Amino acid sequence: MASFRLWHPSRDAYHCAFRFMRLLVAKNGTLEIERLRILDMYLLYPSLLHKASMPQDTKKLFRELAIAAPDKIFVRLPSSAAVFQDLRLYQNSAITQLMARGLFSTDDLKRRIASPPNAGWPDQLVQRAQNKNAEDGGLTSFLVGTFSEIPLTGRDSIYRKAGLPTRSIAT
């Protein structure tokens, strides 16, 4: 009998590291680690955005992306909270890997912020991230733009609007 090895980007820390870089390249700046984690989840599973509450102007921009609703895709996803918690292990590995390779600034990570190192990232890597972002139909731009303006903490936080566990903030 044949042995099959299944691969999915959600279980690949290297893929996660590249998604983080894609988001930071699109942002062209820094992001809070927790916001980066949330945006990564939606970059990986954009259909989950349908379940998130958004301000009207943000929701209008989201509809223009024409992302398939969760019930219209082949894969059945658990709740956003379950997906978010499940990704945490791989996201932690990706952050450690990027820091160890000098691709994340260790000083910023101590302050819970993700940013490229002072010397920057290799041009070839930035170009690959830009190419991939250009192919996603505007999803990355939406995530790091209007959607990422939702506050990280408070009564109307992105955690509440997305239905994510706030206990994740501390770890």
Residue pLDDT, tens place only, 42-67: 999 999 999 999 999 999 999 999 99
Look at residue 49 in the predicted model and tell me its pLDDT.
94
Q: Is the pLDDT of residue 126 over 80?
A: yes
pLDDT for res 118: 72
CA 64 and chain centroid, separation: 20
**Contact in structure between 152 and 140 (CB atoms under 8 Å):** no
Q: Which of 14-23, 77-86, 92-101, 126-135 has the lowest mean pLDDT?
A: 77-86
Higher per-residue pLDDT: 2 or 112: 112
pTM above threshold 0.85: yes
Task: Give 104: exposed, middle or buried? Use CB within 10 Å, 0-12, 13-18, 19+.
Answer: buried
11 against 91, higher pLDDT: 91
Question: What pLDDT, in 10s, does the model give residues 63-119?
Answer: 999 998 877 776 677 888 999 999 999 999 999 999 998 888 888 889 999 988 777
pLDDT of residue 2: 67
The mean pLDDT of 36-45, rounded to a whole number, is: 96
pLDDT band at 170 (very low <50, low <70, confident <90, very high): very low
Q: What's the alpha-carbon Rg for the chain, to the nearest Å?
A: 16
State residue 169's pLDDT score. 54
> What is the model's pLDDT at position 109?
87
Alpha-carbon distance of 162 to 146, in angstroms, equals 15
What residue has token string 């920057």?
120
Query: How confident is the prediction for the chain on average, in pLDDT?
Result: 88
